[in-house]
């Protein structure tokens, strides 16, 4: 079990992520490119089934991530129809419906996020504007997968346990988790400030990763642990 000191760092990091993820001063984000242009050649795997539906809370992102690289390697343009999702393959197209006003927008998944436990997708500024999400910052949505990439190779999933401003703190947690769960990594989340995400495990499916997440929440007293795709 983590020390009281380390748990305190995780609580602080989670609070920072929450502040960076919503509202008019939106700072939690992911990069994008112009629709139909600048697509990365990085392969995706295990496509989401066409017609798959997911409901939850959406948020949106803008500066300071505008102009920076997304996880798929392309440059984020916040005025194009793109988004971040924790587990869907890059280049998946998703129709997002704002449940409150029934407005829809189609977006392409190019990055990982949102890294706040109760949200399922981070939209670009342009996409959020199209469905009336700019003012409130967050809102209830329904996602429907409308197309996906050609499947290539295996894919793995892990569990995000914490995020830190200081790399040394992330490294200490990574070492602890690796000793317990056999695999752990530190992933840089560029921004202001840069955050170092700590991800445990290396599972072959979202279901087995969720089983690990339940174990982590109990053993590490980390209620915010959630499943992410390992790209």
Measure the CA–CA gap between 182 and 203, rounded to whole angstroms.
11
Question: Could you report the per-residue pLDDT of 31-49, keeping only the tens digit for each?
Answer: 333 233 333 334 445 678 8
How many angstroms separate the Cα of 28 from the Cα of each of 47, 137, 144, 193?
Answer: 25, 11, 23, 11
**pLDDT at residue 10 in the model:** 44
Q: pLDDT class for 57, splitting at 50, 70, 90?
A: very high
**pLDDT at residue 100 in the model:** 97
pTM above 0.85, yes or no: no
Question: Could you report the per-residue pLDDT of 141-200, keeping only the tens digit for each?
Answer: 999 999 988 776 788 999 999 989 999 999 999 999 999 999 999 998 877 788 899 999
Instruction: Work out the average pLDDT over 58-71.
Output: 90
Task: Say whether pLDDT at 124 is over 90.
Answer: yes
> How far, rounded to the nearest angstrom, does the alpha carbon of residue 56 sit from its chain's CA centroid?
14
Measure the CA–CA gap between 131 and 194, rounded to whole angstroms.
29
Mean pLDDT rounded to a whole number for the chain: 82
How many angstroms separate the Cα of 193 from the Cα of each of 13, 87, 166, 199?
Answer: 11, 24, 10, 19
Measure the CA–CA gap between 2 and 113, rounded to whole angstroms.
25
Contact 229, 202 (CB under 8 A): no
Q: Which domains does the chain have, with CATH numbers?
A: 4-15+153-230 (3.30.70.1070), 25-147 (2.40.40.10)
**pLDDT at residue 25 in the model:** 32
Give me 49's structure tokens: 């089934």
Length of the chain as a residue count: 231
| Pairing label, strands 93-98, 138-147 | antiparallel
Contact 115, 19 (CB under 8 A): no
Instruction: Work out the average pLDDT over 118-124.
Output: 95
Instruction: Work out the average pLDDT over 97-102.
Output: 98
Contact 82, 110 (CB under 8 A): yes
**pLDDT at residue 46 in the model:** 61
Q: pLDDT class for 210, splitting at 50, 70, 90?
A: very high
**Of 40 and 121, which is predicted with more confidence?**
121
Look up residue 97 and give its DSSP letter. E
Contact 127, 139 (CB under 8 A): no
């Amino acid at each position: 079990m983590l020390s009281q000191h380390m748990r305190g760092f995780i609580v602080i990091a989670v609070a920072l992520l929450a502040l960076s993820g919503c509202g008019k001063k939106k700072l939690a984000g992911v990069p994008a490119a112009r629709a139909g242009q600048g697509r990365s050649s990085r392969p995706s795997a295990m496509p989401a089934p066409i017609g798959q539906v997911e409901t939850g809370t959406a948020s949106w992102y803008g500066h300071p991530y505008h102009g920076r690289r997304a996880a798929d390697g392309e440059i984020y343009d916040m005025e194009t129809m793109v988004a971040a999702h924790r587990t869907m393959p890059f280049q998946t197209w998703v129709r997002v419906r704002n449940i409150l006003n029934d407005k829809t927008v189609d977006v392409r998944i190019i990055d990982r996020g949102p890294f706040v436990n109760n949200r399922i997708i981070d939209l670009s500024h342009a996409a959020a504007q199209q469905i009336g999400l700019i003012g409130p910052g967050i809102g209830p949505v329904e996602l429907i997968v409308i197309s996906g990439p050609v499947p290539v190779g295996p894919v793995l999933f892990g569990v995000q346990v914490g995020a830190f401003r200081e790399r040394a703190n992330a490294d200490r947690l990574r070492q602890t988790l690796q000793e317990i769960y056999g695999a752990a990594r530190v992933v840089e989340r560029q921004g202001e400030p840069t955050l170092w995400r700590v991800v445990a495990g290396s599972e072959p499916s979202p279901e087995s990763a969720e089983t690990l997440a339940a174990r982590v929440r109990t053993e590490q007293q980390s209620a915010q642990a959630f499943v992410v795709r390992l790209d």
